[in-house]
């Protein structure tokens, strides 16, 4: 198993890479959603590492993982809805004036 400092650096790198991907690759909606999910995995790793170091209280990690899964399902359903209504997931094709 990895020691604490390597896991901390790995989780922070995952969070920053996900944030960088979210900011820089915003041509497609799917790229943005995948980078947000990568950030969530980094935060989950960081949270799990901190909670396991404190004690045996791991229920907050399960709660966070459940919220992350629900959020991912909402993102996927939003992506499917947008692709069905607009035909693609380009941000340039979205117009706020359309109903």
Using one digit for the tens of pLDDT, what is the confidence trace for 29-81?
A: 888 888 988 998 898 888 888 777 666 677 887 888 888 889 889 989 988 98
Task: Identify the bridge partners of residue 90 per DSSP, sorted by sequence position.
Answer: 28
Domain 4-93 bears CATH identifier 3.40.830.10: no
Tell me if 94 sits within 8 A of 86, measured CB to CB: yes
Q: Residue 56's pLDDT is what?
A: 65
Q: Over 60: is that where the pLDDT of 1 sits?
A: no
First to last CA, the chain: 52
**Residue ranges per domain, the chain?**
4-93
Q: Strand, helix or coil at 74?
A: helix
Helix (H/G/I), strand (E/B), else coil: 89: coil
């Amino acid at each position: 198993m990895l020691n604490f400092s390597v896991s901390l650096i790995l989780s922070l790198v995952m969070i920053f890479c996900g944030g960088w991907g979210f900011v820089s690759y915003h041509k497609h909606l799917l790229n943005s959603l995948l980078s947000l999910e990568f950030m969530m995995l980094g935060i989950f790793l960081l949270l799990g590492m901190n909670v396991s170091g404190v004690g045996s209280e791991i229920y907050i990690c399960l709660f966070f993982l459940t919220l992350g899964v629900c959020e991912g399902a909402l993102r996927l359903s939003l992506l499917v809805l947008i692709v069905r209504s607009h035909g693609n997931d380009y941000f340039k094709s979205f117009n706020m004036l359309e109903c």
